[in-house]
Structure 1
Amino acid sequence: MVRHGKRGSALLSVTVASALALSLTACAGSDSGSGDGRSLTYWSMWKENEPQARVLREAAQAFEREHGVRVVIQWQGRDVLKKVAPALRGGDLPDLVDQDQALVRSTLVAADAHRDLTGLYAADVAGRKVSDVVSARYSDLVRRDGKPYLVPYEVIGYGLWFDGAALPEVAASPPGTWSEFTALLSARKAAGAAPLALDGDIGQYNALWTVGALQGALGKDKVNELARDRSGEAWRRPEVRAVLDDVAGLARSGFFAAGHNGGKWPAAQEKWAQGQADFLLMGSWAPSETGAKARAGFQYRFAALPSAGRQRYVPVESIGFAIPRRAKNAEAAERFVAYFLRDEHLGRISSVARNLTPNPALPVPDELAGLAEATRSLPLARVQDGVAEDFPGYVEEVLWPANDQLLRGQTDVDGFLGQIGEKQVNYWKKNR
């Protein structure tokens, strides 16, 4: 894939993550710290031919030249955390891993098998501290009990993507409220356009609409609270139902481009890039993933999802470094992480890998300029309100199946509420 493989990462079985967490709990112990510090083993989520891998590999080579510490990188791919489990049961354990925050939290952190990185955030980065380089807007989202478990080096943001050349009036003044948004969709449909692109066979993509609308109307962390309710009855509150009806109205009004129910990813997003739909609700990999298919003159523009309440949010998640609690060369791993955060290395996540970094002082790719501005000016929220991070297996077992039918117009709000209530009760019976 062109992107950083977010589909492969976020759609990694959360059920598997839950099982992994149980296996880690059985093996977690105290820090060993028995390595010699002359080398460290780094298991990465990237494949060797990806641009992020190039940036990391060249930084590791520079680190060895400057500090005499070798970084032995194994390009494990998106299943890197699944491969950590047998190492924790016995055998060689990596000193450093990277993945997105949701999977790190639902595996290493859930099992208390991670290193507290508080000390690393105070480490030197060319005269600054790690906490000066990584914006608190991101580091605050990767803590448990106030202690950081991840050091971000790449930031993924979610929202509406569109072609500024085709929709200059939207680029000049994006809709801010849900009513403004649906009025725009109605006008575009009346003009013969397909307003919304959706690869409806992916539960995560469908959930972006519903959870995003709920966050905007109710506030961040409120969907997380709904998921915590063991009775499932919280979903039936009038203010929740009103948002669900707004979301169901997208399908009811025919705003999704034809074929979204029966198509296969990535058909819809490719058609969007070719001008056959107006808006795509997606993560910040959208430009790099669709760029090769985009029509000539396509200008990638970003807008936060409009809100039915008082506030718009930008859902974000980070990809970053974590250190297993029993890593033998944890100190060397921390030194490398701090070294990588120097401008000359971290900046290449933007210039080479074409993604945002957690350092707002660094340049951003032109196609992500709107997203970067939104992350500076609007409040941030966890993707899917942190439900996948906090409740392993919940999105796959409860949220996505019920929501898929709502977004496809295959059930109404009452049907959704019945399904999610039943599934949620069963989920919590299994996860007491």
Structure 2
Amino acid sequence: MTHPGEITRRQLLRRIGMTAFVAGPGAGLLSACATAGTGGEPTAAPATSIPASANPKNPFGVDAKKPLEVVIFSGGYSDAYAKDLHEELYKKAYPGVTVKHNATQQIGTQLRPRFVAGDPPDVLNNSGPDSMDLAALAAEGHLADLAPLFDAPSVDDPAKKVRDTVTPAVLENAKVTGKDLVLNYTVSHRALWYNAKLFETKQWTVPATWEEFLALGEKAKAEGILLFAYPGQKGPYYQLWNVLYTAAKIGGNQVIIDIDNLVDNAWNAEPMKRAVTVWVDVQTKYGDKAYFGLDHTQTQVKQLQNKLLFYPVGSWVENEMVKDKPADFDYAIAPIPEVTGSDKMPYGAIQVGVGENFVVAAKGKNPQGGLEYLRLMLSKEGARGFTEKTQNLTVVNGAAEGVNLPAGLVSAAKAQDKAGQNIITEARFEGWYKELFDYGTEQINVVMAGRITPEKFCANMQKKADDVKNDDSVTKQTRSR
């Protein structure tokens, strides 16, 4: 079953228009990062419909005399795609315009005071561990309505609306309490990533069952290699995702849907407890507590040195480590092994979704320019250039045709081929209830380090979820699938 925000490879290829890749037959998908949720009833900048008489080359009435400020999260994708591509497209469309570019990994730290002071940037790439709470921003009226963007004529074909040029998952995930406020720009795969060349050299087989997974752990341990690790600093949410997707593998996507919907005792469900238990067991037997003191980059370097086999991350990792990746390392994706022998989702199920959030500030100095900037990003030139610079795919149909793609992307495409309709749904409470998600990223380190039991972890998370549910100041959101 396919869920909003998740897509089959066949659907994605058809919608993105990737009929052939230079990378070879069967080549496919990839990319992404993370974002933020709470607050009162969201409001947005008034949605102004685009008049039929509007200039398709400037549907929002951009004033080229107004400067535009863009802030980019400089993480796995760096910021060159914005500085050297998207901002240049904006300058080309509006000669003489000034674009101020800022890149940071401290999105929330740097920008919260500016939003409070009424001096936000026009465009914000809200991503990374310090991302801002989107639901709170929406509640305070800080996010511009993107409905006019989706209804605007596309850059490539003015006869088509922008909404008709992107995968439908973009439109589903744009909503914060029913309003189109967020643009997710990339396609992402989150699973276990490993070095295919190492496995080939060692003649190891990617484990399909938990028993095979642990047996491989013994082989690796004998050679001084960790079976698994995740970053305890600036990335513990990678393991929170991993546990959630393992729970969905065991009990089906309803496990995550119930967590998102704040259903009573959702965190205490048996699949959730089992998922936490098996990963704590792996950490205890085959992990290294030293990794709790490492950040994501340091952990990823360890993997490039073949000091650990499996790493729970998203497809942005390949570009993030491109400068450090040795010639004997090829990223490849591995589905979560069969845990119980009777998991509801078969082996091969993986998580696929859209991500990398962009918003326009409703109270910025140039919201019209902000909308236009996103429209240019959603052109084929803007999207193809992003793929070429980051080796990750966007949500724009047909933009990746003919692009030479790396090994990890090809591997992800093949994995999604095998998954078919068995796509693990994306947990949305990360964006809906940031306080709950942040608490989870703290608690996952505590349980993985053995300081509390899996049962206590689930009880703590349930108590926090109940607190959110009972807090009338927090806008509640729901999903049906």
1:111 shift after superposition: 3.7
Query: Does residue 1:131 correspond to 2:173, yes or no?
Result: no
Which residue is 1:200 aligned to? 232
The residue that corresponds to 1:115 in the other structure is 144
Query: Is the 2:189–2:350 contact (alpha carbons within 8 Å) kept by the matching residues of 1?
Result: no
Tell me if the contact between 2:184 and 2:358 (Cα under 8 Å) persists in the aligned partners.
Answer: yes
More displaced, 183-192 or 152-161?
183-192
In structure 2, the residue corresponding to 1:124 is in which secondary structure? coil
Once the 2 structures are TM-superposed, how far is the Cα of residue 273 of structure 1 from its aligned partner? 0.8
In structure 2, distance between residues paired with 1:348 and 1:400: 33
Task: Specify the SS of the correspondent of 2:333.
Answer: strand
Tell me how far apart the structure 1 counterparts of residues 378 and 307 of structure 2 sit (CA, whole Å). 40
Query: 1:270 aligned to 292, 301, 305, which one?
Result: 301
For 2:100, the equivalent position in structure 1 comes to 73
- Aligned with 1:340 (options 377, 385, 392): 377
CA distance in 1, matches of 2:462, 2:32: 32
Q: TM-score, normalised by structure 2?
A: 0.70
Report SS of the residue matched to 1:125: coil
**Gaps (5+ residues) in structure 1?**
none
Measured in 1, the distance between the counterparts of 2:415 and 2:132 equals: 25
Q: Is the 8 A contact 1:273 1:291 kept in 2?
A: no
Aligned to 2:56: none
Deviation (angstroms), 1:226:
3.2
* C-alpha separation in 2, matches of 1:419 and 1:144: 26
For 1:168-189, what per-residue CA distance to the aligned partner results, in whole angstroms no more than 9, with x for missing partners?
Answer: 3999974455555445445544
Distance of aligned partners of 1:389 and 1:64 in 2 relative to their CA distance in 1, 3 Å threshold:
same
Q: Specify the alignment match of 1:288 in structure 2.
A: 319
Equivalent of residue 318 in structure 1, options 355, 369, 394: 355
Equivalent residues of 1:137, 1:380 under 8 A apart: no
- Indicate the larger mover: 335-344 or 71-80: 71-80
Letter in 2 for 1:137: A
TM-score norm. by structure 1 comes to 0.77
- What CA distance in whole angstroms lies between the structure 1 residues aligned with 2:185 and 2:452? 41
Deviation of 1:44 (Å): 1.4
The structure-2 alpha-carbon separation of the partners of 1:228 and 1:132, relative to structure 1 and needing over 3 Å to count, comes to closer
Aligned to 1:411: 452
Distance apart, 1:298 and its partner CA: 1.0
Taking the aligned partners of 2:314 and 2:241, their CA distance within structure 1 comes to: 10
Per-residue CA shift, 1:243-279, capped at 9, x if unaligned? 3332332224x13246334556544332211112211
Determine if the alignment matches structure 1 residue 401 to structure 2 residue 435: no
Deviates more, 1:240-249 or 1:222-231: 222-231
Which protein is richer in helix relative to its size? 1
The equivalent residue for 2:332 is: 301
The 8 Å contact of residues 315 and 380 in structure 1, kept in 2 or not, is answered as: yes
1:407 partner letter: M
Q: Tell me how far 1:75 sits from its aligned partner.
A: 0.8
Match of 2:175 among 143, 150, 162: 143
Bigger drift between 121-130 and 51-60 goes to 51-60
Equivalents in 2 of 1:124, 1:394: separation in Å?
37
Distance 1:375 1:140 in 2: 21
| Residue 335 of structure 1, CA deviation | 2.9
Q: Relative to 1, partners in 2 of residues 1:66 and 1:268: Cα closer, same or farther, differing over 3 Å?
A: closer
SS in 1 for 2:390: coil
Compare relative contact order (CA 8 Å, sep 6+) and give the higher one, 1 or 2. Answer: 2
Residue type at the aligned position of 1:159: A
Seen in structure 2, the aligned counterparts of structure 1 residues 198 and 358 have a Cα distance that, compared at 3 Å, is: same
State the secondary structure of the residue aligned to 1:195. Answer: strand
The answer as to 2:90 corresponding to 1:63 is yes
Q: Is this contact kept in 1: 2:379–2:396, CA < 8 A?
A: no
Task: State the one-letter code of the partner of 1:119.
Answer: P
CA shift in 2, pair 1:139/1:291, >3 Å: same
Q: How many percent identity over aligned positions?
A: 17
**Structure 2 residue identity aligned to 1:396:** D
Q: 1:420 aligns with which of 441, 461, 465?
A: 461
Q: 1:83 to 1:165 in 2, by over 3 A?
A: closer
Partner amino acid for 1:223?
I
User: 1:14-46, CA deviations, whole angstroms, 9 ceiling, x for partnerless residues?
Assistant: 7xx76xx67x97x97757999862335233124
The 1:103–1:360 alpha-carbon spacing in structure 2 relative to 1, beyond 3 Å, is farther
Count residues in correspondence.
413
- Residue 126 (structure 1) shift: 0.7
CA distance in 2, matches of 1:46, 1:197: 25
Cα gap change, 1:148 to 1:379, in 2 (>3 Å) = farther
Distance 1:168 1:117, change over 3 A: same
Would the alpha carbon gap of residues 418 and 242 (structure 1) be closer, same or farther in structure 2, given more than 3 Å must change?
same
